[in-house]
Amino acid sequence: MKEFADMAKRLNIKFLLKSLLLLCILFYLSSCASVLPSRVQPSGVDYVNASWYGAEFHGRQTSSGERFDMYNMTCAHKEFPFGTNLRVTNLRNNKSVIVIVNDRGPFIPGRDLDLSYAAAREIGLIGPGVSRVKIEHLGRNMRYVKRVEFAPLISVGPFTIQIGAFQEESNALHLKQGLELKYKDVFMTTAYINGKKFYRVRIGSFNDRDRAYSFARNMAEEGYSTFITKVD
């Protein structure tokens, strides 16, 4: 009986050690929430008005940071997280195409989705220009989820969130315009770095670092690059 009791005691100690190790791992993962935001994606079916864009924007930087290629199967949406996959069906002819959201837009009232030239051609949208479509959510490519970054050695606010910095003003203006479809307090500043002028797109002013992080985390979930820094 004594040997059995000793064995039970040893097993109990091993169980406690494993439990303690598991708790440590869970605590570490929760502390890394600032690095990898939670993942949220839309679902279901919607009926919206779709248009398209092409040569005028070919090669320009999209709101997700990728270069727009009019021959890729992509689209712009006002709110869906970057990386959202959609099946778009033209209700006029029942033709469908699968696209991925990598940009913000459209900016014309009454329109909800902007397809790339190639995607629009696939479903017969080039001629009409605008059509009623059905969109079905097919999940999300999670490589678009970003990490929240912090400027080094900042501990006292006010803080702001930088979404991008560009040498081309048009790229900064496009990003700002896309952000303003959903967010308030979006602004641009300029800075000279090594003699070069940069246009910086920023959002908000936060006295509290945790509030700034919480806001940045939501934006990182959408696929925006976020960099928390001090207000100039």
Q: What is the DSSP string of 75-122?
A: EEESSSPTTEEEEEEETTT--EEEEEEEE----STT--EEEEHHHHHH
Q: Is the pLDDT of residue 35 over 70?
A: no
- Count of Cβ atoms closer than 10 Å to residue 147 Cβ: 14
**Residue spans per domain, the chain:** 45-143, 148-230
Give pLDDT, residue 232. Answer: 85
Rg (CA), the chain: 24
**What whole-number distance in Å separates Cα of residue 104 and Cα of residue 79?**
7
pLDDT digits (tens, 9 = 90+) for 110-143: 999 999 999 999 999 999 999 999 999 999 999 9
CATH for 148-230 is: 3.30.70.1070
Pick among 3.30.590.20, 2.30.42.10, 3.40.5.10, 2.40.40.10: CATH of 45-143: 2.40.40.10
